[in-house]
Amino acid sequence: MITKNILPCFKTNMKKVTKYILHPQRSYREFKTFMTAKDKCFIPNCKARCCADAPLPEDFAPQYKQMQQRPVYGAANIGHNDPRDNYNSVIYNTRPVPLILVGHAGRGEHVYIKDKKLAKELGIKTMEEAKELLLEMQAKEIYNYCPFLTEQGRCRVYGMRPPICREFGSSPLPINYCPHKSSNLDIVKFYFKKAFNLKDMYYLYRDLITSKFSKQVTQG
Ligand code: SF4
Ligand code: SF4
């Protein structure tokens, strides 16, 4: 897995960087921007969290109900998510946690609404208990993924996905700003760290030795 995925990615990235440095017209400032601009969707770093807590147009999920990939425990109608919208949006809850993230307050604080029906079903009485459950899920990296996201991280309704999904992370509007984007430097650092991780090294050597050994056996 490591020889197949990590090494080729690392090589491609280093090739791009080298090409950039050797370009006669490039200055250090341009190189710095090239390396540090956070404009890449690098899935190993972000785990595609744009598909979590997604505000979908209110008639979207009912229309494609048969394509849903995960159970829905509740939903919150948040009204117009974008000032340009002429429809309301709904955030679905796909985790058995009676809290739904509906926005952000000042200083990056999260705003949740409590799903009273689900809280009652789960026997959760206080907000503290609900938050504890939420933290447990987050520690296990279980996010409130969109009902249409498959286990493999693919959008089951990709061709029909709503405007928010098409624009998020790729438009200059603050509402579509993605805080999970990576820079080229982040990507290089990611692979560099991987290359010196003891566990990864073990699998890398094991893969190399096994493939060499199996080649000898086939030739012999
Ligand atoms: S838009 Fe953001 S969250 Fe979505 S894939 Fe790109 S980096 Fe990840
Ligand atoms: S509809 Fe598709 S692209 Fe949009 S949030 Fe859901 S899974 Fe992601």
Which of 46, 155, 158 maximizes ligand 2 atoms within 8 Å of its Cβ, making it the mutation to test the pocket? 155
Q: Band the pLDDT of 5: cuts 50, 70, 90.
A: low
In a domain, 20, yes or no: no
Q: Report the domain count for the chain.
A: 2
Residue with more model confidence, 68 or 168? 68
In a domain, 24, yes or no: no
Residue identifier of the C-alpha nearest atom 8 of ligand 2: 51
130 plus 166 within the same structural domain: yes
Would the pLDDT of 1 be above 70?
Answer: no
Residue with more model confidence, 130 or 23? 130
Average pLDDT along the chain: 86
pTM given for the model: 0.72
Dihedral of alpha carbons 183, 186, 190, 196, sign: positive
Cα angle 50, 54, 57; round to 5: 135
In a domain, 171, yes or no: yes
88 plus 163 within the same structural domain: yes
CA 21 to chain CA mean position, Å = 30
Q: Band the pLDDT of 34: cuts 50, 70, 90.
A: confident
- Please choose, from the candidates 70, 109, 121, 111, the residue with its C-alpha nearest in 3D space to the C-alpha of residue 92: 70
Domain holding 109, by residue range, is 47-176
In a domain, 200, yes or no: yes
Would the pLDDT of 19 be above 90?
Answer: no
Q: Please write the tens of the pLDDT for every residue from 100-140.
A: 998 877 666 889 999 999 999 999 999 999 999 999 998 98
Residue pair 60/93 in contact by the 8 Å Cβ criterion: no
In a domain, 66, yes or no: yes
Give the ligand at the shortest distance from the Cα of 159.
2
Ligand 1: residues with CB < 6 A are 41, 46, 48-50, 168-169, 178, 180-181
- pLDDT at residue 44, as a whole number: 82
- Compute the average pLDDT of residues 162-171: 89
In a domain, 39, yes or no: no
In a domain, 38, yes or no: no
Q: Band the pLDDT of 59: cuts 50, 70, 90.
A: very high
**What secondary structure does DSSP assign to 158-187, as a single string?**
GGG--HHHHHTTTSSSGGG--TT-B-HHHH
